[in-house]
Amino acid sequence: MQVSRHVGQSVCLGALLLGSLSCVCAVADAADARRLNVLFIISDDLTSTALSCYGNNVCSTPNIDRLAARGTRYTRAYCQGTYCGPSRASFLSGYYPHATGVLGYISPRKAIGDRATWPQHFKNNGYYTARVSKIFHMGVPGGIEEGSDGADDPVSWTERFNSQGPEWKAPGDGETLEGNPDGKKPVVGGNTFVVVEADGNDMVHSDGKTAKKACELIDEHKSKPFWLGVGFVRPHVPFVSPRPYYKPFLPYSTMTLPPKVPGDWDDIPKAGINYKTSVNMKMDERRQQKAVGGYYASVAYMDAQVGKVLDALHAAGLDDSTIVIFTSDHGYHLGEHDFWAKVSLHDESAQVPLIISVPGKQPAVCDSFVELIDLYPTISGLCGLEVPDRLQGLNIAPTLDNPDADIRDTAFSVNGKGFLLRDNDWAFIQYGEDAKGGLELFDMHKDPKQYTNLAGDEKYASVVENFKSKLTAKLATVRDNDL
């Protein structure tokens, strides 16, 4: 019998003639070897302005910086929800929050039915998929203290691992900064501004355990394609890190706070005042400075854990076969406008760090608007997987070859009260689909820090009306889905 030289036919006939699948397995292994791995690293509540690769001169992040030095760093990446649950549900499902209806802290599975999440799509295509700690939403600190799964999606994973830690209960020197003007309140849990200069080393805490497990999984699964999600919970409150990470930020009085602008809130709708402010948290200047120092220490600790994971990837010989992504679920206010934490639709909260390193691609900085929802289709395509037509994100892969490529002219984000449309010239925020909650409009060239709301100025009426129309069209588009 004459055997064809075509590989596929050779495999089939060889298996039949020899009565063995060894040849098939060899070809399958070769196919696996050509597939790129995905290492997805996400920090919790991280503003890009805290990273030295994004220009911070106080908080040094050498490990994230070295990833940026070999990848593409995006300067205008935006989340689709400015708090944890909706953001993560969006980029993991491939749908905008108003498509899934996931505007709270729940898994998107109920909304998307049997449609595959981003990691599940890779699992369905033969990848080993695993998460370590917080990838889908997980309560911090509560879920970390319990070591529980949170609003996870079990079918997305081959395996999943939680990283239990003491959080605010960690031994050390702690202070509650929020709602504690007389200094008598003990260290407390919950979504509260607390700083703990902790005793012990990195492995006392959740993120140290997450890094260790991630390193083990990289080594264990280096011979097969994997999609590994590594979820660090710092710098989410409480700001807890081992003592050495605080040293660069002591004394806290050296921390510089954003400028306080008289009347800053006067032209902002009530819905636009953030849920955490210096006023309602009763944080004086000393406590605000300590909050910044504690946040930076948490960032430095998280950066060190990122370094361990990158070192493990290198030690496993996988640098040239692994796409590495680093990002956050949303940004964070550190006193800008006297706002703190997330949720607002200003740039500090809606914009996120995003670095994508792809083997064979040159390092670059890209200023195109991109969105976290773009990760699912982009990374799927780069790994040679079919990209489902239903996905609402865009393929931003062209920016990896040409950082001057423009993918989007507008970014879109929501916070449960309103909507952000952000383009090159303007930031437009509308509260409520009927705009009854108010409007904000900022000239991002003249007023990049967003201090002067122009929405009520008749000179900009046409700009406002244009954005209202754009928003109506955008909402119709994001709701036009197969759910």
Phi, psi of 196 (to 5 degrees): -125, 115
| Residue 337 and residue 370 in contact, taking contact as beta carbons nearer than 8 Å | no
CATH number, position 300 = 3.40.720.10
Residue at a domain's end among 408, 431, 461 = 408
Residue at a domain's end among 379, 408, 437 = 408
Residue located via tokens 């699948």: 21
The verdict on 104 and 7 lying in the same domain is no
Q: Where does the pLDDT of residue 105 fall: very low under 50, low under 70, confident under 90, or very high at 90 and above? A: low
| Residue 418 and residue 430 in contact, taking contact as beta carbons nearer than 8 Å | yes
The verdict on 5 and 69 lying in the same domain is no
pLDDT digits (tens, 9 = 90+) for 120-170: 999 999 999 999 999 999 999 999 999 999 999 999 999 999 999 999 999
What pLDDT does residue 13 have? 32
The verdict on 309 and 263 lying in the same domain is yes
What pLDDT does residue 32 have? 46
| Residue 233 and residue 146 in contact, taking contact as beta carbons nearer than 8 Å | no
Identify the bridge partners of residue 341 per DSSP, sorted by sequence position. Answer: 333
Instruction: Look at residue 222 and tell me if it is in a domain.
Output: yes
Which domain, by its residues, includes 5? 1-34
The overall average pLDDT reported for the chain is 92
Residue 205 annotated among the catalytic residues of the structure: no
pLDDT exceeds 60 at position 276: yes
Q: Where does the pLDDT of residue 2 fall: very low under 50, low under 70, confident under 90, or very high at 90 and above? A: very low
The verdict on 11 and 126 lying in the same domain is no
- Calpha distance 458→225 (Å, rounded): 57
pLDDT exceeds 50 at position 462: yes
Instruction: Look at residue 288 and tell me if it is in a domain.
Output: yes
What pLDDT does residue 100 have? 78
What count of Cα atoms within 13 Å lies in the side-chain half-sphere of residue 249? 28
The verdict on 380 and 402 lying in the same domain is yes
Q: How many domains does the chain have?
A: 2
Residue 346 annotated among the catalytic residues of the structure: no
Instruction: Look at residue 465 and tell me if it is in a domain.
Output: no
Identify the bridge partners of residue 333 per DSSP, sorted by sequence position. Answer: 341
The verdict on 25 and 108 lying in the same domain is no
Q: Which of 59, 79, 98, 137 is catalytic?
A: 137
Residue at a domain's end among 408, 434, 455 = 408
What pLDDT does residue 456 have? 96
What pLDDT does residue 68 have? 98
Q: Which of 84, 215, 366, 383 is catalytic?
A: 84
Instruction: Look at residue 306 and tell me if it is in a domain.
Output: yes
The verdict on 26 and 112 lying in the same domain is no
The 3-state secondary structure of 49-101, one letter per residue: HHCHHHCCCCCCCHHHHHHHHHCEEEEEEECCECCHHHHHHHHHHCCCHHHHC
Instruction: Look at residue 415 and tell me if it is in a domain.
Output: no
Find the Cα–Cα–Cα–Cα dihedral 16, 19, 20, 23, rounded to 10°: -30
The verdict on 80 and 26 lying in the same domain is no
The verdict on 151 and 232 lying in the same domain is yes
Instruction: Look at residue 481 and tell me if it is in a domain.
Output: no
pLDDT digits (tens, 9 = 90+) for 407-427: 999 999 999 999 999 999 999
The verdict on 172 and 315 lying in the same domain is yes
